[in-house]
Amino acid sequence: MVAKVKTERRMFHNNEECPIRNVITQIGDKWSMLILFALVDGADRFNSLKSRIVGISQRMLTQTLRDLEREGYVKRTVFPEVPARVEYELTTMGLGIVKPLYQLVTWASENHEEIKRSRREYDEKIM
Amino acid sequence: MVAKVKTERRMFHNNEECPIRNVITQIGDKWSMLILFALVDGADRFNSLKSRIVGISQRMLTQTLRDLEREGYVKRTVFPEVPARVEYELTTMGLGIVKPLYQLVTWASENHEEIKRSRREYDEKIM
DNA sequence: CCGGATCCCTAGGGATACTG
DNA sequence: CAGTATCCCTAGGGATCCGG
C-alpha cells in the first residue's frame, strides 16, 4: 500500500506542517505548472515565455516566476546587456518536481475525456 | 524524454482543451486532495470526514464532495435511514488519480524542508 | 445527520499605464 | 526588454442560521 498521509486517521491541515498543502498550494495556482513545463526543455527569457504561455499576463508571469524562484524551482539570471536580458531555468529541485507532475499530467491526458463525460452525465442528472 | 505537453513550443491555455488545467484546476483547490486521500482507506461518512479533515467547514466539505462526484472521483451513497446516513467512496477513477497524486505527495514530503529553506533564504536576500 | 441558503470578506488575477 | 505600480472585479471560501 501507499504511504500514509494522515496521522491516526486525522488529516494534516496546517500549511506549515502539512507537506501536501505546503507544496501543492504553490504549484496549484493558475500558472505555476505551465511555467515549469515551459522550462523543461531549457532556459528561456521573459518575453519568450510570455508568448509561449498563451493567455498569461505580464503581471502574473512576473509574479509567478518570483514565487517559483522563492520556492527554489527556478533560477533567475540577469545578463547586464542593453536592453536587459533575463533568463529563467529550472533548478535541480525544479526538475525534481516536474517528474511527479508529469505523472499527473499523463494521467490527466489519458483520463480527461472520461472526466468530461462524467461531468456531462452529472449535469444532466441535476437538470 | 518525457511526453510533450505543448504544441510547437506553444503551451495549452484553454481550460476546455488543456488536460493539465482541465484536471488540475479541480483538484488544485484547497480541499480536494485532502478529501481524496481521506477516502483512500475506504468509504466514510460526512461527519466522520468533517472531523478527520481538520479545519474544513461544512460548506466546503459538501461543495468539494459534489465537485469530486461530478468529476467522477467520488461516489455518493445515501442510506434511507433515520437519521440520514451518507457514505462517500472513491470510484475507480478516484483511485486512479490518487496514485500520481501520491507521487507528488511523496516528493513534497521529501523536499518540503528544502523548500522552506529556499524560502527563508530568498526572503533574507530581499529584506 | 446531512446538508442548503445567506452574508460577507479577502486573495487571485486581469487590464492598463509607466520606467530603467 | 523586463519589469513595477494601480485600479478594479470576481471567485473562493469562512461563519452562521435554517430545514428534512
Residue A109 forms part of a structural domain: yes
CATH code of A95's domain = 1.10.10.10
Residue A5 forms part of a structural domain: no
pLDDT band at A22; cut points 50, 70, 90 = confident
Domain span at A86 = 19-126
Name the nearest CA neighbour of A27 among B106, B12, B25.
Answer: B25
Please state the length of chain A. Answer: 127
Look at chain B and report how many structural domains it folds into: 1
Q: What is the pLDDT of residues A38-95, one digit of tens each?
A: 999 999 999 999 999 999 999 999 999 999 999 999 999 999 988 899 999 999 999 9
Distance in angstroms (rounded) separating the CA atoms of residues A35 and A16:
25
pLDDT of residue A125: 83
Whether the pLDDT of residue A35 is over 90: the answer is yes
Distance from CA of B83 to the nearest CA of A (A): 24
Residue A31 forms part of a structural domain: yes
Residue B6 forms part of a structural domain: no
pLDDT of residue A127: 65
Q: Within its chain, how far is the Cα of A110 from the centroid? A: 19
Distance from CA of A46 to the nearest CA of B (A): 14
Residue A4 forms part of a structural domain: no
CB contact under 8 A, B93 and A103: no
Judged by average pLDDT, the poorest of A6-10, B51-55, B110-114 is A6-10
**Among all strands, which nt has the closest C1' to B66 (CA)?**
C3
Q: Cell numbers for A109, please give them.
A: 491526458
- Rounded to two decimals, what is the model's pTM? 0.89
B60 close contact with A: CB closer than 8 A = no
Residue B62 forms part of a structural domain: yes
